[in-house]
Structure 1
């Protein structure tokens, strides 16, 4: 018997926000504190996997309504898990779609890392119900208004309900420092970028739109204060409800609410690519007076000069040893050079710029100024955000040739007693990048010994297994340290990983929080039989989270045959969903031997990949970046240029330029610092 289903009339809305889903699903439901009907739809038999999402969403939705002082504008807010979905999530109005891994949580096997990542994604998509749906960008040029704002406020929401996760420190590592890497390239682009053809759209859903956009919002929020920020947002959303808007409209409302000249201040951050390097020069005038000279210039990843002489209006903050928890001096730097006088500061007192790393700039200190910071780093007097960014800035300066990587390796010794998850995550990332460079030298084994020395103290303290009432961030730190030590050759770690992996196969399951480390270490030292075991586990897994853990590890073998086997597993048949294929590529390309194999694979199969994924697919960009970014041979540049010129795939044009620039920079680092690094490591 036929039936007719009638839907309520939609509000005035953009067509890209309309969604229908047809299929068999279970669902759970509730109402939030404002009476909004909320559901989470799950695959059949997995209702309990939606509980985390429903509980969080029912808190976040009214939080946003209160923060914006504008009610959620429709009667329901549904969320649904889609098995095959190109994007991680999509903010369709009232029916948000997610990949399964981005929404569902298995209470027995989901790690804290995935719970946290899902909380971020859910909070991000719910923010779009106001910022993007209720008020929509006028054109793709203002994409960052949607994505940058949602990326910032997702952290505000998650911090509200999970303060123990310390997400604002994680923001510095996962968002702030990531945009600093990409935006230092000459091939970067401004936040506001003209779009003239549909093929250009996917290319701007990148780190600049999301990460730099949100970092601009974070800096702005700090600059004008929360009260003025909320007042300006409310008026902006109220005035442009069910309308289109441009960046200028947001600036004007926030400027009016704060009484500050934001249009002049913010234009340098959205209309120009890049960001400044602030160099600090000190002169002690007397026992208690110090003159600080600051200069600004664009920071470029390869250390070259800025031909355009770009300048920014920079909110500068300075704090000192005498009061490390508050700002001693705050000034708006709108010139190439300024001079500041600090009173009541002794000759041996340290100073630091950029309190809590909120300003969008890197800092270069003179050697004596940097050396004074070793003590507050080692004793954790500085905040985790500041400890993190000191080493991140120095690493970037080393990459650019402003300092030697020996300076970075010496600085890291101040972090031997570091116990903050996010600081270690950042250090591990930089060490990983440096490792992928030093793989091309004859002294890589010496560097692995250095890594072991750096990590041994924290590993001895946190061990393998969680303790009663353990800080949740320790559970997230543990796999980072175990992976780093295992891949550095610590035999006890390797043996224990192999033992636990065998027990896991036999049914004694590994704690989900350390599975990534165990899988990576056994894969790294395993043979083809190990790969077969990992593939069996992958096929047997019914949660995509577990599949991603296994897929990430599979390619990280040092055995060429195992890497070939992983590529076959990923791309032949239907073992791996298309949306996850790039994860396999990234794992295979994580080693020197794997990189060469993956590059040959891409060249041989590029036409097939374009046909399979689509010429405008963002996954093609992921393939290019994950395969090529860690090469260090400048001779490869012409080969890459020639291949992609012939391939004529416009979607990856910007990614190829960025990859080439990165390879050239890495090659220069080896030429410049290799001998000095070898000499330093030989003395350790």
Structure 2
């Protein structure tokens, strides 16, 4: 619906029903009259059903001359993959389709479970993207050959920024739900090695982080870290460490974010540079640029020792700003067990109010309380992936109840079990794929 049609419809609705009772259907009717579109039919299916659909785009593409036929079907998207209770769910989905050379190649209202769309004036080698611009509230599940066609569009940047973001989000969510394959996710992420946009890198780093936590306790975790490290090589080399004149406001943020990820995935040169900058900063030889301090401090602590921790404490005692204090505390949280225990004891009663008896219990506390020093580790940000871990967390908080985190604990345990199912489904395929790339 165009902005003008929306304004016209709202004016009609407010004028017609001023000082009168109104219903939701009255609003849909006014917007429908103004736009000439079946707003009431569309919105009724969306507002009276839970959730949203996933559109399965068939790989069986039939090319006839310059036309291509594509089959699209809809089902309810469920994060746990259990959609059987919702087989009868049906939305009226406004589907738009773009191709390499036509951003508005086709548009249909999907009212049935399955429909076939004909796209005219398309080359046999052109890619097809459903939901261009990410304006539709649904996920898209591309089968292998269609996704393969989009990888080149990602790599050469011909796919719009929002579409490159949506593609990552959809493919990862579908893999988590068991609808898609995690190998598809890995293949897709590897196509972003030449990416330039800050917002795309944010999404990419988040997705790599999800996979990193999923695989953190596997025997091929190091191979995954190397895979992730390689994705950052080109952009980190281009940005470097030092700020440049007249660079845009997003560049310093992107530099810090990418160097941090590059270092945390194990790039030895980045770690060495961070340690050197940290030593110079501590000794007052050269003050670390404020945009890089989070990266430098956290990498130095992660690969440091108790002396590094004590140096951060001294910097904290000299800190005159709340922002710097938070930055230092978060860096301390990257320490290994010994300095981290020291930190928890140092801040006891302010950061982590629960009792702990063993290091394993302390680790659980550090992972699951929301009042943490490291960046928030909530239900979607955990590295446990087994039923045993879920039970361990439940037993700990049963013995050490804390009302303020009760909901977070339940969400975390649910996420652990979903991760366990995910890893159980795909671990062998992931291992085989990573082995083939190493």
User: Do the two structures share a fold, i.e. TM-score over 0.5?
Assistant: yes
Distance 1:257 1:313 in 2: 19
Aligned to 2:184: 407
Distance 2:41 2:65 in 1: 39
Q: Does 1:298 align with 2:76?
A: yes
Question: What is the SS of the residue equivalent to 1:410?
Answer: helix
User: Within 5 Å, which residues of 2 pair with 1:191-202?
Assistant: none
User: Within 5 Å, which residues of 2 pair with 1:572-651?
Assistant: 572=349, 581=351, 597-600=362-365, 625=378, 629-641=382-394
Question: What is the SS of the residue equivalent to 2:434?
Answer: helix
Distance 2:320 2:110 in 1: 54
Kindly tell me: are residues 348 and 467 of structure 1, through their superposed partners in 2, closer, same or farther at Cα, counting changes over 3 Å? same
Distance 1:491 1:238 in 2: 67
CA contact (8 A) 2:92 2:109 kept: yes
Q: Does 1:288 align with 2:66?
A: yes
CA contact (8 A) 2:380 2:412 kept: no
Aligned to 1:307: 85
Aligned to 2:126: 349
CA contact (8 A) 2:380 2:415 kept: no
Question: What is the SS of the residue equivalent to 1:277?
Answer: strand
- 1:427-452, Cα deviation, whole Å (9 max, x unpaired): 11111111112111122222221122
Aligned to 1:78: none
Aligned to 1:545: 323
Q: Does 1:469 align with 2:234?
A: no
- 1:152-190, Cα deviation, whole Å (9 max, x unpaired): xxxxxxxxxxxxxxxxxxxxxxxxxxxxxxxxxxxxxxx
Aligned to 1:533: 311
- The Cα shift of 1:261 comes to 4.3
- The Cα shift of 1:455 comes to 1.1
- The Cα shift of 1:338 comes to 1.7
CA contact (8 A) 1:501 1:519 kept: yes
CA contact (8 A) 1:599 1:627 kept: no
Kindly tell me: are residues 560 and 647 of structure 1, through their superposed partners in 2, closer, same or farther at Cα, counting changes over 3 Å? closer
Q: What runs of 5+ residues in structure 1 fail to find an aligned partner?
A: 1-223, 574-580, 586-592, 614-618
- 1:355-380, Cα deviation, whole Å (9 max, x unpaired): 11121111111211111112111110
Q: Does 1:662 align with 2:415?
A: yes
Question: What is the SS of the residue equivalent to 1:338?
Answer: strand
- The Cα shift of 1:381 comes to 0.4
CA contact (8 A) 1:416 1:457 kept: yes
Q: Does 1:515 align with 2:293?
A: yes
Query: Which of 392, 399, 416 is the aligned partner of 2:169?
Result: 392
CA contact (8 A) 2:252 2:291 kept: yes
- 1:386-413, Cα deviation, whole Å (9 max, x unpaired): 1122122222222222333222222222
Distance 1:408 1:485 in 2: 19
Query: Which of 425, 429, 432 is the aligned partner of 1:672?
Result: 425
Q: Does 1:429 align with 2:206?
A: yes
Kindly tell me: are residues 389 and 569 of structure 1, through their superposed partners in 2, closer, same or farther at Cα, counting changes over 3 Å? farther
Aligned to 1:459: 236
- 1:620-663, Cα deviation, whole Å (9 max, x unpaired): xx988369743212123344455667878777665444333321
Kindly tell me: are residues 239 and 632 of structure 1, through their superposed partners in 2, closer, same or farther at Cα, counting changes over 3 Å? farther
Q: What runs of 5+ residues in structure 2 fail to find an aligned partner?
A: none
- 1:500-540, Cα deviation, whole Å (9 max, x unpaired): 12222344332222222112211211222222332333344
Aligned residues: 429
CA contact (8 A) 1:300 1:306 kept: no
- The Cα shift of 1:342 comes to 1.1
- The Cα shift of 1:328 comes to 1.3
TM-score (norm 1): 0.56
Distance 1:247 1:636 in 2: 47
Query: Which of 519, 524, 534 is the aligned partner of 2:302?
Result: 524
CA contact (8 A) 2:168 2:207 kept: no
Distance 2:367 2:430 in 1: 33
Distance 1:650 1:315 in 2: 44
TM-score (norm 2): 0.85
Aligned to 2:150: 373
Deviates more, 1:227-236 or 1:426-435: 227-236
Distance 1:389 1:305 in 2: 22
Instruction: Give RMSD over aligned pairs.
Output: 3.7
Aligned to 2:100: 321
Distance 2:367 2:236 in 1: 38
Query: Which of 234, 258, 273 is the aligned partner of 1:496?
Result: 273
Aligned to 2:227: 450
Distance 1:234 1:552 in 2: 51
Aligned to 2:137: 360
Distance 1:240 1:509 in 2: 65
Question: What is the SS of the residue equivalent to 1:278?
Answer: strand
Distance 1:236 1:565 in 2: 63
